[in-house]
Protein backbone atom coordinates (compact mmCIF):
# COMPACT_ATOMS: atom_id res chain seq x y z
CA UNK A 1 0.00 0.00 0.00
CA UNK A 2 2.99 2.28 0.64
CA UNK A 3 4.03 2.09 -3.01
CA UNK A 4 0.47 3.07 -4.02
CA UNK A 5 0.57 6.21 -1.87
CA UNK A 6 4.05 7.04 -3.21
CA UNK A 7 2.78 6.66 -6.78
CA UNK A 8 -0.33 8.77 -6.17
CA UNK A 9 1.63 11.53 -4.40
CA UNK A 10 3.02 12.89 -7.67
CA UNK A 11 0.72 15.05 -9.86
CA UNK A 12 2.32 13.85 -13.11
CA UNK A 13 1.65 10.21 -12.23
CA UNK A 14 -1.91 11.08 -11.20
CA UNK A 15 -2.39 12.84 -14.54
CA UNK A 16 -1.10 9.70 -16.32
CA UNK A 17 -3.70 7.62 -14.46
CA UNK A 18 -6.42 10.14 -15.35
CA UNK A 19 -5.49 9.95 -19.02
CA UNK A 20 -5.50 6.15 -18.87
CA UNK A 21 -8.98 6.23 -17.35
CA UNK A 22 -10.25 7.48 -20.73
CA UNK A 23 -8.59 4.66 -22.69
CA UNK A 24 -5.37 2.63 -22.85
CA UNK A 25 -2.56 4.61 -24.52
CA UNK A 26 0.93 4.09 -25.85
CA UNK A 27 3.98 5.51 -24.07
CA UNK A 28 4.40 8.06 -26.88
CA UNK A 29 0.81 9.31 -26.62
CA UNK A 30 1.17 9.72 -22.87
CA UNK A 31 4.58 11.42 -23.06
CA UNK A 32 3.23 14.02 -25.52
CA UNK A 33 0.88 15.31 -22.82
CA UNK A 34 3.71 16.32 -20.47
CA UNK A 35 6.54 18.87 -20.70
CA UNK A 36 9.14 16.39 -19.46
CA UNK A 37 11.71 14.19 -21.16
CA UNK A 38 10.96 10.59 -22.16
CA UNK A 39 13.41 9.11 -19.60
CA UNK A 40 11.57 11.03 -16.87
CA UNK A 41 8.25 9.68 -18.14
CA UNK A 42 9.73 6.16 -18.22
CA UNK A 43 10.69 6.59 -14.56
CA UNK A 44 7.10 7.63 -13.76
CA UNK A 45 5.76 4.59 -15.64
CA UNK A 46 8.14 2.36 -13.68
CA UNK A 47 6.85 3.72 -10.34
CA UNK A 48 3.24 3.16 -11.45
CA UNK A 49 4.05 -0.36 -12.64
CA UNK A 50 5.86 -1.16 -9.41
CA UNK A 51 2.80 -0.03 -7.44
CA UNK A 52 0.71 -2.35 -9.67
CA UNK A 53 -1.48 0.57 -10.81
CA UNK A 54 -0.81 0.16 -14.55
CA UNK A 55 0.36 -2.64 -16.79
CA UNK A 56 2.00 -2.61 -20.17
CA UNK A 57 1.12 -4.97 -23.01
CA UNK A 58 2.55 -5.29 -26.46
CA UNK A 59 -0.06 -4.85 -29.20
CA UNK A 60 1.46 -5.12 -32.65
CA UNK A 61 4.62 -3.02 -32.51
CA UNK A 62 3.45 -0.66 -29.74
CA UNK A 63 3.65 -0.94 -25.98
CA UNK A 64 0.22 -0.04 -24.63
CA UNK A 65 -0.27 1.07 -21.05
CA UNK A 66 -3.59 0.37 -19.35
CA UNK A 67 -5.07 0.91 -15.90
CA UNK A 68 -4.91 -1.77 -13.24
CA UNK A 69 -6.69 -0.02 -10.37
CA UNK A 70 -8.81 -1.68 -7.71
CA UNK A 71 -12.02 0.15 -6.78
CA UNK A 72 -10.37 1.44 -3.61
CA UNK A 73 -7.32 2.74 -5.52
CA UNK A 74 -9.64 4.34 -8.08
CA UNK A 75 -11.53 6.09 -5.27
CA UNK A 76 -8.24 7.14 -3.67
CA UNK A 77 -7.11 8.67 -6.98
CA UNK A 78 -10.38 10.63 -7.27
CA UNK A 79 -10.02 11.73 -3.66
CA UNK A 80 -6.46 13.05 -4.13
CA UNK A 81 -7.53 14.82 -7.33
CA UNK A 82 -10.56 16.34 -5.62
CA UNK A 83 -8.46 17.88 -2.88
CA UNK A 84 -5.57 18.72 -5.22
CA UNK A 85 -2.92 17.02 -3.09
CA UNK A 86 0.52 17.97 -4.46
CA UNK A 87 -1.07 20.19 -7.13
CA UNK A 88 0.94 22.97 -8.74
CA UNK A 89 4.22 21.07 -9.07
CA UNK A 90 3.77 20.45 -12.79
CA UNK A 91 1.77 21.89 -15.68
CA UNK A 92 0.50 18.76 -17.39
CA UNK A 93 -1.51 20.52 -20.09
CA UNK A 94 1.63 22.17 -21.54
CA UNK A 95 2.95 20.25 -24.53
CA UNK A 96 6.52 19.30 -25.39
CA UNK A 97 6.40 21.75 -28.31
CA UNK A 98 5.45 24.55 -25.91
CA UNK A 99 8.49 23.81 -23.77
CA UNK A 100 10.83 23.71 -26.74
CA UNK A 101 9.67 27.20 -27.75
Partner 1 sequence: MSDNPNLLRTRKQIVFSLKLAAVMLGGSLLLVLARKQGWVDAEHVLRANNVILGLALAAFSNATPKMLNGPPRSLHHATLAQAAGRVSGWTMTVAFLIWAALWAFAPREYATILSVAAVVASVVVSIGYAVWKSAACRASKSD
Which residues contribute to the site for partner 1 (CB under 8 A)?
21, 23-24, 52, 55, 57, 59, 64, 66-72, 74
Nearer to partner 1, 59 or 99 (CB): 59
At its nearest, how many Å lie between partner 1 and the CB of residue 38? 21
Nearer to partner 1, 68 or 96 (CB): 68
The backbone torsions φ and ψ at residue 25, rounded to the nearest 5 degrees and listed phi first, read -135, 160
Nearer to partner 1, 48 or 67 (CB): 67
At its nearest, how many Å lie between partner 1 and the CB of residue 73? 8
Nearer to partner 1, 32 or 55 (CB): 55
Coil vs helix vs strand at 64: strand
If residue 16 lies in a helix (H) or strand (E), which one and from where to where? helix 11-22
**Residue 9 · residue 44 · CB < 8 Å:** no
Rg, the chain, Cα only = 13
Neighbouring C-beta atoms of residue 45, cutoff 10 Å: 19
At its nearest, how many Å lie between partner 1 and the CB of residue 6? 18
At its nearest, how many Å lie between partner 1 and the CB of residue 94? 26
**Residue 26 · residue 62 · CB < 8 Å:** yes
Amino acid sequence: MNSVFKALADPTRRKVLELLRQRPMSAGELSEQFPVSRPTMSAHFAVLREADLIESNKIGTSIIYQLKLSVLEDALLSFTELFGIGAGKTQPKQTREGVDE
